[in-house]
Amino acid sequence: MYYCANTNKKVMTFPLCNISSMMEIRKQNCNPMTTKITYLKKPVFIHQGYMQWLWDVDGKQYLDLFTGVATVSVGHCHPKVTTAIQKQLKKLWHTTNIYIHPELHEYCDKLAPYLPDPLKVIYLTNSGSEANELVMLMARLHTGNFDIITFRLTQLTWFLPNKQTMCPDVFRGPWGGSYCRDSPVQSIRQCSCAQGACIANKHYIEQLEETFATSVPSQIAAFFGEPIQGMGGAVQYPKNYLKEAYKLVRQRGGICIADETGFGRTGSHFWGFQGHDVIPDMVTMAKGIGNGFPVGAVVTTPEIAASFVKASHFNTFGGNPLACAVASSVLDVRTDLLISIDVFEKFLIKHREPLPPEAMSEILEDIKDMGVLIGKGGVYGQTFRIQPPMCITREDVDFFLAVFNKAISGYTDRK
């Protein structure tokens, strides 16, 4: 038994089985891919969570700054979300959109005002992957074209081909670097480019034009991209890249799709695409909109939505009453928890070469041992992914910064 840091109440731990038996089950009964993606040397055996905190089966407490891969947006077991789940569980667990039930319609009505015109038509799914598959179908139906362009590192689908263009990474890519005014490590936003010009943006747009000229027909179905690339390494694009890319795509008959992970996390805007001053034709979303509960959505225009009826499509779990009740409560809670990413100080990055995997492993392990959980991403797994729930406090941030600095210093001292 131990005390919860947030509520100061006694909390009982009662692991279902011991660590050795869990590892045996993992080895014998879990797919090897499950083991492959455990990138910590000593796995964390999570038992329960509350808001920004997680506890393992031995009662050790962790500050969770990875939130199930940027998914638990408002905190583990948030009381208001938990209450909404319990209330809905007593009323109706599941039905489909064959029938009309209030939870689906109430959530769509609540979500729509958060999106700019004309993005007002919503189709609910039960995952982001499912939403992404659906937008490809809808884009092809609406345009009558087939080819879809994505960034390299974006695996949009496993069974339908898509054409890839260079990811406009102004930090690690061939154009830009630490002194590029659009680089994520730039603080003064000054560079050697002429006022109003951007060499990096020019070259990345040229790469996209080359893809159009050499890899696809004159007319395409869509361009698909995250406004902020997550697994690719939290890549920040040149300021006007998406605006110019969207224009080129639309000239070729395609529609523009934003795979959205913002949902209030960017600080200055609700959606990531708003930071690029663009309005996509379709938006996919999942993860944080359900705070970890499986729910996703496709939002588009009335015109594109009308083309969808050319096909036959049915989704068993999309619009599930329980999922909609959870997503609706998350949307309510989120308005009280918005924070700015400015609370995080910038760390000095001296060069663009990625840390070797063993170095990342050492640092992540040290951070974990000091009571903080973060993730990694990027082409070589070289990017620290820090994606906290929106309920964190200034004290949490200060604690993490101290831990992070100590882990980095410890690694450099050992070198």
Q: What is the 3-state secondary structure (H, E, C) of 52-91?
A: CEEEECCCCEEEECCHHHHCCCCCECCHHHHHHHHHHHCC
Single pTM value for the model: 0.88
What is the domain partition of the chain in residue ranges? 45-65+356-415, 82-336
Local confidence band at 154 (pLDDT 50, 70, 90 cut-offs): low
pLDDT band at 267 (very low <50, low <70, confident <90, very high): confident
CATH of 82-336, picked from 2.60.120.10, 3.40.640.10, 3.40.50.12780, 3.30.43.10, is: 3.40.640.10
CATH domain 45-65+356-415 topology: Aspartate Aminotransferase, domain 1 (3.90.1150)
Q: What percent of the chain has pLDDT over 70?
A: 88
Lowest pLDDT segment from 28-32, 83-87, 143-147? 28-32
pLDDT > 70? residue 10 = no
Question: Please, which pLDDT band fits residue 157 given cuts at 50, 70 and 90?
Answer: low
Mean pLDDT over each residue of the chain, to the nearest integer: 87
Q: Mean pLDDT throughout 203-221?
A: 95
The reported pLDDT for the residue numbered 16 is 53
